[in-house]
Amino acid sequence: MADGATTILIVEDDPFQRETVCAYLAGQGFAVEGVADGAGFRAAVAKGMPDAALVDIGLPGEDGFSLARWLRGLSPTVGIVMLTAATDLVDRVVGLESGADDYITKPFEPRELLARLRALMRRSGGGDGRQAAPAGPAEALPPHKVRLGAAVLDRKTGVLRTAEGKDDQLTESELSLLTLFLENPNRALHRDWLLERTSGEDEPEAFDRAIDLRVMRLRRKIERHPARPMALRTVRGVGYLFDPEAG
Ligand code: CA
């Protein structure tokens, strides 16, 4: 593998899909290795931790969820993107709970995969860790400011001081979703209930993914470890729960 290049490991049992992705990413300057199953994946990781892994869910033998959990257990910072052919929402969410950072539904455009990988690398600082700026443990806040996980929201301005310590102007739909969570703490809120009550004109996404994608984006802003959310938790089969005590 080339020195200094971002290393990507892909596990995908379909040779055509695997080779297509490998060739495309190699052409984009990544150092790519492709393997066909869990044994090959574990062997490749044993040789060296990649910066990011693309993990097909449906594999012969050990499946992608299991591999993602194993990899996340080895490294809190490696980027993990699940590749799924399933359109089932639960599969996607479970994929994220396995420690993955993102997922992409097959068939996908190589350019979409590239965009996701670049976003992931930006967030992880090229794979050298995602340490959040430490927030003061018991820092007193003025009344219009409220703590959300590792972030602080200014309710007057809609500006979020993210877990990474950056100021982020929230969109109207992000703000309306966060407000619902703030007003209903410690309750499992149904995905459909959330969708009905939030505006989303600024994010014209497919209906069934809209809430999940917004929650994923919010987690990246407010959670210390977005792949293992504490403040915005998934309630399987229902939706999401906001824990105001989570740091
Ligand atoms: Ca497969």
Which tens digit of pLDDT belongs to each residue from 68-121?
989 988 887 889 998 988 665 555 656 566 778 888 888 888 888 998 898 888
Tell me the CA–centroid distance for residue 84 and ligand 1, in Å: 8
Tell me the CA–centroid distance for residue 72 and ligand 1, in Å: 20
What are the strands, taking DSSP E only, across the chain? 7-11, 31-35, 52-56, 79-84, 102-105, 145-148, 151-154, 159-161, 167-169, 188-190, 232-235, 239-242
| pLDDT tier for residue 198 given thresholds of 50, 70 and 90 | confident
Task: Please state, in angstroms and rounded to a whole number, the distance separating the CA atoms of residues 127 and 76.
Answer: 10
- Is pLDDT of 133 > 50? no
- Is pLDDT of 132 > 70? no
Tell me the CA–centroid distance for residue 90 and ligand 1, in Å: 18
The pair of structure tokens assigned to 235 is 């309630």
| pLDDT tier for residue 19 given thresholds of 50, 70 and 90 | very high
- Burial status of residue 49 (CB atoms within 10 A of its CB: 0-12, 13-18, 19 or more): middle
The pair of structure tokens assigned to 208 is 């069934």
Mean of pLDDT values over 52-61: 94
Task: Please state, in angstroms and rounded to a whole number, the distance separating the CA atoms of residues 236 and 85.
Answer: 20
- Is pLDDT of 199 > 90? no
Residue type at position 59: L
Tell me the CA–centroid distance for residue 14 and ligand 1, in Å: 6
Tell me the CA–centroid distance for residue 3 and ligand 1, in Å: 30
Tell me the CA–centroid distance for residue 57 and ligand 1, in Å: 6
| pLDDT tier for residue 1 given thresholds of 50, 70 and 90 | very low
Q: What angle do CA 157, 159, 165 make, to 5 degrees?
A: 150
Tell me the CA–centroid distance for residue 15 and ligand 1, in Å: 10
| pLDDT tier for residue 212 given thresholds of 50, 70 and 90 | confident
pLDDT score, position 201: 56
Interior/surface letters 171-200, b for 16+ CB within 10 angstroms, e for the rest: bebbbbbbebbeeeeeebbebeebbeebeb
Phi, psi of 141 (to 5 degrees): -115, 145
Tell me the CA–centroid distance for residue 17 and ligand 1, in Å: 9
Domains, the chain, in order of start with CATH, read 7-124 (3.40.50.2300), 145-242 (1.10.10.10)
Q: pTM of the prediction?
A: 0.53
Tell me the CA–centroid distance for residue 63 and ligand 1, in Å: 9
